[in-house]
């Protein structure tokens, strides 16, 4: 009876060891997006670049990663990534067919879908080109009205001059409205360096796979908690700049990889991490 018990325990331990060794040998990876897509229009192909790192550190080449997107209206689409550039870097072309909000993610290694910041897709015909086309005649008409108004004013025909100049002001104001700044095309679009931009980068750069942060709900479902929880983490901006730019330069034995972050991305992540400090 004891021999059977010992045998059962032995088999259980062996099975557990095998499972752990499989998981830690190559069972998970982190996807780091080059940049968050923006300016997206329905039916227009967009290029997506990203790096897949085994255990968040070593670039993995020779994979066939899959980009998957789903519309809140129910449509879905996928695209395969191909080797592009240095080992472990991939590129995929994704065409979202309809406007609206799309959630998406990348299956870099294995079956796990790593989420990315949601996208807001505009109708194919929206944007500045149409606004610019409408702006030109409005400004031309405003200029003509102003010239007529000045001429009538010079001729002392005050009533007609006032009417022409008033029309010029109205047409000019309409031109400003038509030709104003384009609406943000990504639901995560924000000024570089802000906490909102940093929150989106926390997802896009794969931080959610190794860390949990209460400000990023997805991290609770995705994170393997390899690194410390960052919900209440704060630190000096100077240290964080050095750390995010070159982790191994600050702590040679760290498991944190160099993500190749730009200065703007570093400032945005610092703003996110220190927002409640």
Distance between CA 196 and CA 188 in Å, rounded?
7
The verdict on residue 4 lying in a domain is: no
What's the pLDDT tens digit per position in 171-203? 555 554 444 433 333 434 445 558 899 999 999
Q: Sign (positive/negative) of CA torsion 199, 200, 205, 210?
A: positive
The verdict on residue 59 lying in a domain is: yes
- Can you give the residue range of the structural domain that contains 142? 128-178
The verdict on residue 185 lying in a domain is: no
Q: Please report, in tens digits, the pLDDT of each residue of the chain (277 residues total).
A: 445 444 433 433 333 333 333 333 456 899 999 999 988 999 999 999 999 999 888 999 999 999 999 998 888 999 999 999 999 999 999 999 999 999 999 999 888 899 999 999 999 874 444 444 444 565 566 566 566 656 555 667 667 656 755 665 655 555 544 444 333 334 344 455 588 999 999 999 999 999 999 999 989 888 888 899 999 999 999 999 999 999 999 999 998 999 999 999 999 999 999 998 6
The verdict on residue 183 lying in a domain is: no
Look at residue 24 in the predicted model and tell me its pLDDT.
37
Residue 143 shares a structural domain with residue 194? no
pTM of the model: 0.69
Residue 150 shares a structural domain with residue 213? no
Residue 42 shares a structural domain with residue 64? yes
Look at residue 68 in the predicted model and tell me its pLDDT.
97
The verdict on residue 14 lying in a domain is: no
């Amino acid at each position: 009876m004891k021999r059977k018990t010992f045998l059962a325990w032995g088999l259980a331990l062996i099975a557990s060891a095998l499972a752990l060794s499989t998981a830690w040998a190559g069972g998970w990876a982190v996807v780091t997006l080059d940049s968050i897509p923006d300016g997206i229009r329905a039916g227009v192909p967009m290029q997506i670049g990203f790096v897949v790192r085994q255990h968040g550190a070593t670039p993995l080449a020779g994979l066939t990663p899959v980009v998957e997107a789903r519309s809140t209206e129910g449509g879905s689409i996928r695209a395969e990534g191909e080797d592009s550039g240095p080992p472990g870097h991939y590129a995929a072309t994704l065409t979202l067919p309809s406007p609206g909000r799309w959630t998406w993610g990348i299956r870099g290694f294995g079956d796990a879908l790593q989420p990315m910041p949601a996208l807001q897709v505009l109708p194919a015909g929206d944007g500045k080109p149409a606004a610019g086309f409408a702006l030109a005649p409005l400004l031309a008409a405003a200029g003509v009205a102003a010239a007529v108004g000045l001429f009538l004013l010079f001729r002392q025909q005050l009533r007609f001059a006032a009417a022409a100049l008033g029309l010029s002001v109205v047409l000019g104001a309409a031109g400003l409205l038509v030709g104003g700044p384009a609406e943000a095309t990504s639901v995560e679009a924000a000024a570089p360096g802000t906490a909102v931009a940093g929150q989106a980068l926390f997802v896009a750069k794969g931080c959610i796979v190794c860390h949990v942060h209460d400000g990023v709900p997805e991290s609770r479902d995705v994170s393997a908690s390899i690194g410390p929880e960052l919900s209440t983490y704060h630190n000096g901006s100077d240290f964080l700049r050095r750390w995010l730019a070159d982790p191994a330069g600050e702590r040679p034995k760290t498991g944190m990889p160099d993500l190749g972050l730009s200065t703007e991305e570093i400032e945005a992540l610092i703003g996110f991490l220190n927002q409640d400090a």
